[in-house]
Structure 1
């Protein structure tokens, strides 16, 4: 339910949060340039007027999204730093210092899904307007980069061990007991893989990796036999099977179980040969460097992203 807007700009007769801040600070200046009423008007339609729990203020959520990208922070880091940074709080519309987190990190994800692509484009348009004449240049440049996903460096052993743990969790949730738990066996295999960089251990490590893969396959097949037809884990088991069957030279490989759409992209960077995520096309003005467009792709050729990015 949409939280009703209220004017609490003067809770104290002698003190306000803005009085204790440096008025030349970039976030203080930006807080007065952004048209917050525009977001309240456009995003209020995504909330019910009389049903559900009270929502977080729209300015708070939009401000958090802007801070996330301005400071290049994760959702968790942003929420943690917000409770410590007085400028963050003033930017998001607070008039008194609050010593607790504004929301849980997943609420930012839910808010992005709520406003959709159109809402994110509206925030981008407002950021262009805030830059004034700098964003009105007729000539723009296009560039592509990789938007990395929050995954660890993928290896087959990591994926196979995650499959084993997820299969065990499914069995527990469904009240099933697997034919064998492999607890002691896996413990020994993990120790064998631990020193994989030692030249004398390579043969032992390869054997342990094959054994872990075999155990993961057994658990997946056992779940497939024991679960009833039409069970809700079909997509997960299909994903596990695809991971177990993929080879080194296959295309469209799975690099993460929770982000199966991740691509392995090589941009020729000397310091980072491979990056795991999606390709993003960025449009920016040539002289002032103001970002005026951004669009996400999979792993298309750079030249093929240009028409959609300019559209």
Structure 2
């Protein structure tokens, strides 16, 4: 049964509604307890060499805001709104008391990502792993003092992190370059000096726009027609660049916005690449530019069914006991098979011994990697070289081992899946190269933080139950002693 209590609910008095003690079992309270804030402070302080100027925000506020944004998958503006609404988030950032106004402007999030580089995030992640591993070893410390042999499993793989850009085409890039150069010409002409007898350079922007639309608005276009339109766009860009060189005599390029000036420099390189591909009838060139606004992005050929080519950063990770380490972040394409030896050596540096087995796909099983694994007694997954054994039983055992290795290697695929679906690794919205690398490293660090928090919760729950059993045992003993004394009396 439901009883109507009135149309207007009686709300608590807002100024006193949030007064009280925070719940110590809240996830943000627990998360704040496992982050090494002192080490974060030391890394953050290296960005400030001057002792003058306005006081910067604390390191805990800056680093904690980045964690909140990644963990909750928020934009910069949404992150500030969430912090101003939630007292637990303000405690996580180190505030002494709850404040309803925004603690800082959303534009500061960009500066936070610049002040914590990708390598800084990796160093903090290593500290978190060391602290978590120490607690785990203390709980399972039953080994002797003998030097450790090969132990554990190393799982490695690589993937592409797509950036938030339009799908690049030669025609689309040239059309964007034509529009940008036309914008530069308009600005320089408006601020010209001593050119009363000059005539504004012709840009033929309407003809260039029409030729571009004649292709993009059609379903099917012949190669001949496409080359004609590309040639038309190249001619427009070449003429506009020549006009800008002439206008530089009468107007300084410092009149342009810094972003537009950077794009003008990129357009010069883009034009050279596109002209080379047009003249030589090729479809690729070294360091090919696929975005004028983000020139650091390169095409990464993956050969996947859904997307043969992706545009963004290529990353290599290694997974050890569920903990994900970000080994390489690069916007230039590379062969991930060349990373295995360095990943094995990093494993040795972290743990003091080599792994017992390494699980990787086919591209990692080259001759050099096999020789390195054999030298250090590491078993590499996959079929061994040579013919399969004739013994049916031995052949079946090898197939079972290979099947188990593939099952273990699925863990790294799951890490990529969780990072892309849960933490938005499937599309990076930051525009600056360093900020994008920082965000990628942050995503894996936050994913590790969630795993560490789950482990510590399980660890604490285990000892809580153990303590309860111990107290019950003591209680039973005391009851037995009490009954014994009554029988004697």
Instruction: Determine the structure 2 residue equivalent to 1:123.
Output: 124
**Preserved contact between residue 146 and residue 279 of structure 1 (Cα < 8 Å):** yes
Residues 101-116 of structure 1 correspond to what in structure 2 (within 5 A)? 102-105=104-107, 107-116=108-117
Q: Which residue, out of 161, 181, 195, partners 2:217?
A: 195
The question of whether the paired residues in 2 share the 8 Å contact of 1:282 and 1:295 is answered with yes
Question: CA–CA distance in 2 between the matches of 1:108 and 1:217?
Answer: 39
Q: Comparing both chains, which one has the higher relative contact order based on Cα–Cα distances under 8 Å and sequence gaps of 6 or more?
A: 2
Partner of 2:233: 212
Aligned to 1:80: 78
> Using a 3 Å threshold, how does the CA distance of structure 1 residues 189 and 127 change in structure 2: closer, same or farther?
farther
Provide the residue aligned with 1:264 in structure 2.
299
Tell me the CA shift for residue 129 of structure 1: 4.1
Aligned match of 2:313: 278
What's the CA shift for 1:83? 1.1
Confirm or deny: 8 A CA contact 2:39 2:124 kept in the other structure: no
The answer (yes or no) to whether the contact 2:69–2:79 under 8 Å persists in 1 is no
Partner of 1:7: none
Aligned residue for 1:63? 64
Partner SS, residue 296 of structure 2: coil
Distance 1:190 1:237, change over 3 A: closer
CA distance in structure 1 between the aligned counterparts of 2:272 and 2:136, rounded to whole angstroms: 46
Structure 1: runs of 5 or more not aligned: 1-11
Distance 1:64 1:280 in 2: 24
Aligned residue in 2 for 1:185:
207
Higher helix share: 2
Deviation at 1:282, TM superposition (A): 0.6
Structure 1 residues 18-57: aligned runs within 5 Å: 19=22, 24-48=25-49, 50-57=51-58
Give the deviation of 1:219 after TM superposition: 0.7
1:218–1:16 Cα change, 3 Å: farther
SS at match of 2:82: coil
The answer (yes or no) to whether the contact 1:220–1:241 under 8 Å persists in 2 is no
Alignment partners' CA distance in 2, 1:98 and 1:196 = 54
Check whether the contact 2:177–2:267 (CA below 8 A) recurs between aligned residues.
no
Give the 3-state SS of the residue equivalent to 1:189 in structure 2.
Answer: helix
Contact 2:160 2:310 in 1 (8 A): yes
User: Are 2:321 and 1:291 aligned?
Assistant: no
In structure 2, do the counterparts of structure 1 residues 26 and 157 end up closer, same or farther at CA, with 3 Å as the change threshold? farther
Structure 2 length-normalised TM: 0.51
Q: Pick closer, same or farther for the CA change 1:306–1:173 going to 2, 3 Å.
A: farther
Over 3 Å counting, the alpha-carbon distance change for 1:203 and 1:235 in structure 2 is closer
Change (3 A) 1:192 1:30: same
Larger gyration radius, structure 1 or structure 2: 2
Q: Alpha-carbon deviations, 1:35-91, whole Å to 9, x = none? A: 223322342242256422332221122123334444555xxx144244136355443
**Aligned match of 1:307:** 341
Identify if the C-alpha distance between structure 1 residues 161 and 24 changes in structure 2 by more than 3 Å, giving closer, same or farther. Answer: farther
Once the 2 structures are TM-superposed, how far is the Cα of residue 276 of structure 1 from its aligned partner?
0.7
Instruction: Give the Cα separation in 1 of the matches to 2:200 and 2:126.
Output: 55
What is the CA–CA distance in structure 2 between the aligned matches of 1:135 and 1:212, rounded to whole Å?
Answer: 63
